[in-house]
Structure 1
Amino acid sequence: MIAETAYQTLANYLSNIVNLNHWDKLVLEADIADSMVKSVCYGLKSDERFNNLNRLNPSAAADMKKALFFLRDNIKETTGERVWTINFELLSNRKFNINYSYEKPDWLG
């Protein structure tokens, strides 16, 4: 996998879970442990948050997790820094923003 493929996988995942035809932004907030991901997805339309999202088949969720693990590992290899959280925002024009956090989430101890 390459980074661009991982980004496309995350964008596809978000696009496929939304229940609305029109949205401004879709958000994936993911904490990444060694072998598991704790994630929250939601959308924004006119600055209102909506959570009415479709459930996808298990293989779509597995692909999303593989993409997150790849990004975590790729950053570790290239920078030496451990990423703990990835926030991926897909905009309605298909552009995206991605933010990484290097602080370990409290729930991971």
Structure 2
Amino acid sequence: MSQQIENTLVIEAYQAIAEEILAFVGENSWDEAGATYEIFGKMISSTWWSKYNSELDRLGSDIPRDVSKLAKEKIFFLRKHLLDLTGDRIWGLTFTLYPTGKFNIQYDYNKPKDYEETDYS
């Protein structure tokens, strides 16, 4: 796969995650919003949040199923892409989005202590 195609697929993954966060925020005012994902074999655990005037809010709008499904597919893509690229598997990521469109993404390479790959594969 060419570098340009890989870059496009990574950007599409980031856009899908951002869309899920925006769906969660809905019409609420926000200064930053984000999601934390734990990535298991075939399952992803997600938590979303937003901040406005430094106040944390974990209640948001319902996320449409198709938006959530696409974000999860793209997160699985990122897991495989980073494994292929670096040889290291990500076990989670935190994506923070700002109203300007800028974002920060942090990958978690630490395997959960009690995780057994056979439990979720």
Q: Counterpart in 1 of 2:82?
A: 75
Matches of 1:30 and 1:66 in 2, distance apart? 12
**Could you tell me which residue of structure 2 aligns to residue 47 of structure 1?**
54
Q: CA deviation at 1:108?
A: 2.9
Larger Rg: 2
Name 1:2's counterpart in structure 2: 9
User: For 1:1-109, what aligned pairs fall within 5 Å after superposition?
Assistant: 2-106=9-113, 108-109=115-116
Identify unmatched segments of 5+ residues in structure 1: none
Normalising by structure 1, what TM-score? 0.91
Aligned residue-pair number: 109
For the residues of structure 2 that align with 1:30 and 1:76, how far apart are their CA atoms?
Answer: 17
1:9-59 alpha-carbon deviations (Å, 9 max, x no partner) = 111111112144421111110000010000100101121101221112221
CA deviation after TM superposition for structure 1 residue 107, in Å: 5.5
- CA RMSD of the aligned region, Å? 1.5
- % same residue: 28
- Structure 2 spans left out of the alignment, 5+ residues: 1-7, 117-121
For 1:70 and 1:16, how far apart are their aligned partners in 2?
A: 21
- Which secondary structure state, in structure 2, belongs to the residue aligned with residue 108 of structure 1? coil
